[in-house]
Amino acid sequence: MGNRVPLSVLLVLVTVLLSIFHSEQLQSSHSQTFLRIQRLLNFPAVLSSWNNNTDFCSTDSTSSLTVACYDGTITQLHIVGETRSPLLARNFSINSFFTTLVRLPSLKVLTLVSLGIWGPLPGKISHLSSLEIFNASSNFLYGSIPQELSLLSHLQTLILDHNMFSGHLPEWFDSFPALTVLSLKHNLFNGSLPDSLGSLENMRILSLSHNHFYGPVPDLHRLTNLQVLELDDNGFGPRFPQLGDKLVTLVLRNNKFRSSIPDEMSSCYQLERLDISANTFVGPFQLALMSLPSITYLNISGNKLTGMLLENLSCNSGLQAVDLSSNLLTGILPKCLMSNANDRTVLYARNCLEETNQNQHALPFCHTEAIAVGVVPEGKKHKPVSKAVLSLGIVCGTFGGVSIIALLFFIIRRRNVKTKTKDPPPTKLISENAASGYTSKLLSDARYISQTMKFGTVDLPPYRAFSLDEIVAATNNFDSACFMGEGSQGKMHRGQLKDGLLVAIRSVKITKSFSTQDFVHNIEQIFKYRHRHLVSVLGHCFECYLDDSSVSSIFIVFEYVPNGTLKSWISDRHYRKSLTWTQRIEAAIGVAKGIQYLHAGIVPGVYSNNLKITDVLLDQNFVAKIKIYDLPLLSLMRKVGQGNPSRELKSPSTNKNVKQEDESDVYDFGVILLELILGRTIKSRNVDTLKDLLQASITADGEARRSIIDPAVRKVCLDQSLKTMMEICVRCLVKEPAERPSNEDVLWNLQFAAQVQDAWVGDSQSGSDDSPISPLASIRMTFH
């Protein structure tokens, strides 16, 4: 028998070998995909167990990490990062990330929670055509829901809570016939809901809380499986939604509902939680709601519901919390609410009940109010409360009108701000009658440099040499009324040029004998100091001795920035209105851009500028500008006065510690951020303590975070924006210079904070943001 192997055995062997080979190959390609995912997510702690030798299909699953395989393919990937994970670094690319994910085309379950993922959800997700459950909560996804998502016809669960999605909910939601859970809580969606939602008959949980939706809720009565409907914190209304009767949870809190409660609610026998608080519901409060067999939480507070409570009413013994406060109820609090009251909350203040425990209005109040809203008497409940709605409608219509006007005003103002900043200031060319033989070569060099280095972003007249006469005329011969101050480097005067332009002029006395030619390099250095976020240099002037024409003084002419220091706008509360949150972020962005320019826009860079909040000025449009009167350009000039100018030109940047010096500006910037957040100036010995406080509050809840910041912005800053600002601030203040973030990193985070805040303020038109000028969207940034 020996060497004759039957063909069939051979075939089996080959097949087995092939399939082993195949599955190993599959395994290794999957491994690469997983390792790539790990890398793209920047090695989060939850994936720390993954390495080259991991057998991904046979790892133990935990609540935060699960990989499930079936038949050699990956069917489930479940990754839950640490709560409040910060944004992934700027080099994260959501596109690469999804390109990698779609290499697992058999995925049915994909959970990517709290991983710091940011960017718009790529349409590529549609390649995961088997996807049934997708949970991407608590990331930083933004933009609208991509149309391609509609190709995922097996999708059953879509959870995108706590992201920054915006735009309308698309009409094509009926392309998910199997959809049972749709949860979009805490995003920035707006618009009204598409009617197609009403045809998703398998829907069990629909949660749209905390967005900017408005308008009527589509007819949902066909959703007979609907158990949870959460619409709180939106602008829905005015009619009570039409619903099936299987509801377990119904939350309509804080919307714009203005109708009565339909009778059908009293037959929702599975209803456990009903929260219709903070609306303007009118008409009778159905007492039967209190005795629904499953009800445990009932909150009708903050409406205009009427009715008379009786002592002998019955209520469900499982009731945990009842809040009837701020309505128009009369009568006596039912006994059943008071019995076994040990762990039950019962609130009923601000009604007209015959009770003394919680604050009540006098009976006539409720009667007049009830008439005022035109409540129809019981018994006619089926007629809608048309009058009530009408009269309220008029009132609200008027309010609506007012807010539209306010909005228009706001938009126009914004436009104005924009055009204002675009309009170049009046520029008049004044003949270059420079005091000394200032070469036109220098000026043409200046033009050359300004083009190549793009400091053309400043709306300023071109750099030029001024004559002494001009300087004298502008300052009224250095009149004491024009005196602004004196530093170690000479006096500062305010002045006005003939064309009306306001300027600030620094005079530097030169004690040694130098000719103007000796200063060529210094002047070359000086006219690089032109940038939107620097108090820019407009020109210079030499004063020379008549006898040997050596230089006696140098005048440096700066633009005049009229609006005072940043400090005065956050802490001098009695004398001026403090900056809004948005303006603070924008100011911070300005300062960061100024620093970035000093480091990288000028060659050689200027480091270690020892910046303080008093070194930042605001112009009439609240654009922040770093005051550079005292920056190294002038210390250079001072040194010039003491030695040979051309040898003194070595800028600090040629120093080997560039990196460290770079980071020292970042630290100083961190202190300014801290001051902006806390709304007060801070002594350097207190910085560490306050940094720790900030650090602690980052991991606490939003409330705690808010409690430590400047009360002037507490109400209007969005938590995500605040958190981002705090995080970057803390990172700037790290002890070890090398661990501080780069300028780019700082800027990116600030712009992110601005973007989040802007999206939010822009959407809610929050009336509290009543700043003199709101340069909101001037930095619509792109993330790529």
Ligand X SMILES: *[C@@H]1O[C@H](CO)[C@@H](O)[C@H](O)[C@H]1NC(C)=O
Residue whose C-alpha is closest to residue 424's, from 468, 460, 374: 460
CB of 732 to ligand X, least distance (A): 16
Torsion angle defined by CA atoms of residues 638, 641, 647 and 651, in that order, rounded to the nearest 10 degrees: 0
Q: What totals of helices (H) and strands (E) does the chain contain, helices first?
A: 17, 31
Q: Residue 444: CB partners within 8 Å, gap ≥ 6?
A: none
Is 658 a binding residue for ligand X by CB under 6 A? The answer is no
Residue type (1 letter), 386: S
Q: Which of residues 324-363 bind ligand X (CB under 6 A)?
A: 345, 347
277: contact with ligand X by CB under 6 A: yes
Q: How far is CA 12 from the centre of its chain?
A: 62
Which helix (H) or strand (E) segment holds residue 141: the answer is strand 140-143
Site string for ligand X, 521-550 (x = CB under 6 A): ------------------------------
- Minimum Å gap between C-beta 157 and ligand X is 5
Contact predicate 624/591, CB 8 Å: yes
Cβ closest to ligand X, residue 46 vs residue 616: 46
Nearer to ligand X, 302 or 679 (CB): 302
How far apart are alpha carbons 455 and 540 in whole angstroms?
A: 18
CB-based contacts of 139, cutoff 8 Å, min separation 6: 112, 113, 114, 115, 116, 117, 118, 162, 163
Q: Are 674 and 690 in contact (CB under 8 A)?
A: yes
The distance of closest approach from Cβ of residue 479 to ligand X in the complex, given in angstroms and rounded to an integer, is 53
- Of the two residues 166 and 525, which places its CB atom closer to ligand X in the complex? 166
Question: Closest separation between CB of residue 180 and ligand X, Å?
Answer: 10
Q: Judged by CB, which is closer to ligand X: 346, or 389?
A: 346
What is the H or E stretch that residue 47 is in? none
Shortest Cβ 90–ligand X spacing (Å): 8
Q: Which of 187, 280, 301, 608 is in the footprint of ligand X by CB under 6 A?
A: 301
What's the sign of the alpha-carbon dihedral 26, 28, 31, 35? negative
- Span of 298-306, 624-632, 701-709, 718-726 interacting with ligand X by CB under 6 A: 298-306
Tokens of 598: 């000093």
Which C-beta is closer to ligand X: that of 32 or that of 707?
A: 32
Q: Which amino acid, residue 705?
A: R
Number of residues that bind ligand X (CB under 6 A): 34
Q: Which is nearer to ligand X, 33 or 135 (CB)?
A: 135
* Interacting span for ligand X (CB under 6 A) from 39-47, 526-534, 618-626, 645-653: 39-47
**Site pattern 378..407 for ligand X (x: CB under 6 A):** ------------------------------
Kindly identify the residues of this chain, within the stretch 112-131, that bind ligand X according to CB under 6 A.
113
302 vs 539, beta carbon nearer ligand X: 302
CB of 255 to ligand X, least distance (A): 11
Q: Which is nearer to ligand X, 458 or 592 (CB)?
A: 592
Cβ of residue 243: shortest distance to ligand X, in angstroms? 20
Running DSSP on this structure, what letter comes out for residue 225? T
Cβ atoms of 232 and 212 within 8 Å: the answer is: no
* Residue closer to ligand X, measured from CB, 128 or 133: 133
Longest dimension (CA), the chain: 123
Please select the residue that binds ligand X; options are 33, 76, 85, 166, rule is CB under 6 A: 166
CA distance 453 to 456: 8
For ligand X, give the closer residue by CB, 303 or 664.
303
What is the rounded distance in angstroms from the CA atom of residue 242 to the CA atom of residue 262?
Answer: 9
Closest CA to 639 of 656, 629, 651: 651
Q: Which is nearer to ligand X, 137 or 653 (CB)?
A: 137
Tokens 């945990």 belong to: 320
Single out the residue of 37, 40, 465, 566 in contact with ligand X (rule: CB under 6 A): 40
Candidates 299, 522, 608, 721: give the one binding ligand X (CB under 6 A). Answer: 299
Beta carbons within 8 Å of 734's beta carbon, 6+ residues apart? 740
Sheet arrangement for strand 483-487: 464-465, 537-544, 551-559, 502-509, 490-496, 483-487
The reply to whether 312 sits near ligand X by the rule CB under 6 A is yes
Residue 191 binding ligand X, by CB under 6 A: yes
Our finding on whether 66 is near ligand X (CB under 6 A) is no
Q: Across-strand partners of 476? A: none
- Specify the stretch interacting with ligand X by CB under 6 A; choose among 35-43, 263-271, 458-466, 676-684: 35-43
Tell me the sheet residues that pair with 118: 140
In this chain, which stretch among 132-140, 424-432, 457-465, 618-626 interacts with ligand X, using CB under 6 A? 132-140
For 119: left if phi > 0, alpha if psi spans -120 to 50, otherwise beta; the answer is left
**Applying CB under 6 A, does 80 fall inside the site for ligand X?**
yes
Q: Which of 119, 198, 237, 302 binds ligand X (CB under 6 A)?
A: 302
**Which residue, chain included where needed, has tokens 């990062």?**
81
In the list 89, 405, 406, 700, the residue contacting ligand X (rule: CB under 6 A) is 89
Could you say whether residue 180 binds ligand X (CB under 6 A)? Answer: no
Q: Using CB under 6 A, which of 48, 51, 359, 621 touches ligand X? A: 51
Q: Which is nearer to ligand X, 191 or 374 (CB)?
A: 191
Query: Do 348 and 309 form a contact (C-beta atoms < 8 A)?
Result: no
The neighbour count for residue 32, using CB atoms within 10 Å, is 13
Q: Which residues are within 8 A (CB) of 609 and not within 5 positions of it... i.e. 6 or more apart?
A: 595, 598, 615, 626, 631, 632, 665, 668
How far apart, in whole angstroms, are the C-alpha atoms of residue 209 and residue 431? 65
- Closest residue to ligand X, judged by C-beta, is 277
Select the residue interacting with ligand X from 101, 205, 278, 523 (CB under 6 A). Answer: 278
Could you say whether residue 741 binds ligand X (CB under 6 A)? no
Asked if 255 is part of the footprint of ligand X (rule: CB under 6 A), the reply reads no
Q: What's the CA gap between 639 and 641, in Å, rounded?
A: 5
Give 157 or 774: the residue with its C-beta nearer to ligand X: 157
Selection from 619, 734, 717 nearest residue 671 by Cα: 734
Shortest gap between Cβ of 140 and ligand X (angstroms)? 15
Q: Which is nearer to ligand X, 278 or 292 (CB)?
A: 278
- From 297-305, 469-477, 635-643, 719-727, span contacting ligand X (CB under 6 A): 297-305
Please report the DSSP string for 71-89 in residue order. Answer: TTEEEEEEEE--TTPPPPP
CB of 486 to ligand X, least distance (A): 45
User: Which residue, 207 or 475, has its beta carbon nearer to ligand X?
Assistant: 207
Residue 321 contacts ligand X per CB under 6 A:
yes
- The answer to whether 564 and 618 are in contact (CB under 8 A) is yes
Helix (H, G, I), strand (E, B) or coil at 647: helix
Q: Is the dihedral angle over the CA atoms 80, 84, 89, 94 positive or is it negative?
A: positive
Shortest Cβ 248–ligand X spacing (Å)? 16
Q: Which is nearer to ligand X, 135 or 475 (CB)?
A: 135
| Residue 207 sits in the site that holds ligand X (CB under 6 A) | no
Comparison of 203 and 544: residue with beta carbon closer to ligand X: 203
Give the bridge partners for 298, in sequence order. Answer: 274, 322
Give residues in contact with ligand X (CB under 6 A): 39-40, 42, 51-52, 80, 89, 91, 111, 113, 133, 135, 137, 157, 159, 166-167, 190-191, 253-254, 277-278, 299, 301-302, 310, 312, 321, 323, 345, 347, 759, 763
